[in-house]
Amino acid sequence: MEDLDFMREALSLARQAAELGEVPVGCVITRGTEIVGRGYNRRETDKSALAHAEIQAIDEACRALGGWRLWECTLYVTLEPCAMCAGAILSARIPRVVYGASDRKFGACRSVCSLFDMNFNHHPQVVSGILEEESAALLRAFFQNLRVELRSRPKWRKPAGE
């Protein structure tokens, strides 16, 4: 299995999120050729701001491997990690991060800031742009559908005369 194969797994988890009406982001964590953690965005389902794909995958991987240090692992995620998730990646000592699409609004690995280049005690290697177009297309389709759906809901229509 290579980066592309694991990103395909992450992408299929992102599709699961989309099916639940969640912003489609998916994540897998590997050790060697084995997937040890999986996650997808569940913020609406769990009603939690913390329910990002990466946090769930890190939690699952820690349980699977029986410890909080994921220093032999690679994290694959379809969207550039935010500051919270990049912080969790540092805390878990994950040495390598592979992501698909950039996140200009929240990305903390390059777009808004580069947390991994800052003066922390740990500096994960970052590979970006793997399955970027597929990951971004999934997000675009989700937000397009959401706009159409919101427009069709009466409560979201502006009152007449505005």
Alpha-carbon radius of gyration of the chain: 17
Cβ nearer to Zn ion, comparing 34 with 113: 113
139 binds Zn ion (CB under 5 A): no
Active site includes 34? Answer: no
Applying CB under 5 A, which of residues 36, 52, 99, 110 lies at the interface with Zn ion?
52
82 binds Zn ion (CB under 5 A): yes
Least Å distance, CB 116 to Zn ion, is 14
Range in contact with Zn ion (rule: CB under 5 A) among 9-17, 35-43, 50-58, 67-75: 50-58
Q: Which of 2, 9, 19, 54 is catalytic?
A: 54
Binding site for Zn ion (CB under 5 A): 52, 82, 84-85
Q: Which residues are catalytic?
A: 54
